[in-house]
Amino acid sequence: MRTFPRLLVLALVLFPATAAFADEDLARRIEASREAIKSFAGALQGQLMSAMVDGGPAAAIEACNIAAPGIAATASDAQGWRIRRTSLKLRNPDNAPDAWELSVLREFKARKAAGEDPATLDHAAFVVSEGKRTFRYMKIIGTQPVCILCHGTAIAPEVAARLDALYPDDRARGFKVGDIRGAFSIIQTSPPP
């Protein structure tokens, strides 16, 4: 009988410390995710721009593919993370959101509609997935002027023809500058660095 209150006291003493560690771990992972996405997005856009300069948008179509050699591997292997892109309006069905991503994409849409600045919209959480504590992070991808060449309303006929052939179920058109195009998503199952 006497041990119970002692355990309780111990738990009460330890709990705030554990919570503080968890907060610190979360903050560190969020910071690292923002950095990884910044370099990842920069590399992706650099590759897109140089492909467009070389051959125009029709020739650059593959450059918006995250599987483009090098980019995804560099960003993901660095910290043993999986990094991907997803959207509520997909071009490639392989990029379909899972249940967690879907709820965050909907939340982003609502937060933007409520007036939040899309440039800073992100969301992080620890979730339990298949019995493992997993860190998950998402950050919005906005639509810039260059993106509408392939994701806008007035897509050049030769670009549209190529997209039709490659992506028969393409829903990633009709975007305007400033719209939410989708989001980067990071999944990390490894222990804290």
Q: What order of strands is seen across the sheet that includes strand 132-142?
A: 82-86, 180-188, 132-142, 122-129
Candidates 36, 75, 90, 105; binder of ligand HEC (CB under 6 A) is 90
Burial group, residue 135, by CB count within 10 angstroms (0-12, 13-18, 19+): buried
- Residue 87 in the binding site for ligand HEC (CB under 6 A): yes
Question: Which is nearer to ligand HEC, 26 or 146 (by Cβ)?
Answer: 146
Distance CA 101, CA 67 (A): 19
Question: Which is nearer to ligand HEC, 48 or 138 (by Cβ)?
Answer: 48
Distance CA 84, CA 170 (A): 18
Unique residue bearing structure tokens 């979730």? 127
- Residue 88 in the binding site for ligand HEC (CB under 6 A): no
* Angle (CA) 151 65 56, round 5°: 60
Binders of ligand HEC among 103-122, rule CB under 6 A? none
Give the nearest distance from C-beta 134 to ligand HEC in angstroms.
22
- Residue 185 in the binding site for ligand HEC (CB under 6 A): no
Q: Which stretch binds ligand HEC (CB under 6 A): 3-11, 91-99, 103-111, 112-120?
A: 91-99
- Residue 43 in the binding site for ligand HEC (CB under 6 A): no
Candidates 39, 50, 144, 190; binder of ligand HEC (CB under 6 A) is 144
The residues pairing with 136 across neighbouring beta strands, listed in sequence order, are 125, 187
Question: Which is nearer to ligand HEC, 32 or 44 (by Cβ)?
Answer: 44
Question: Which is nearer to ligand HEC, 45 or 134 (by Cβ)?
Answer: 45
CA dihedral (170, 60, 56, 158) positive or negative: negative
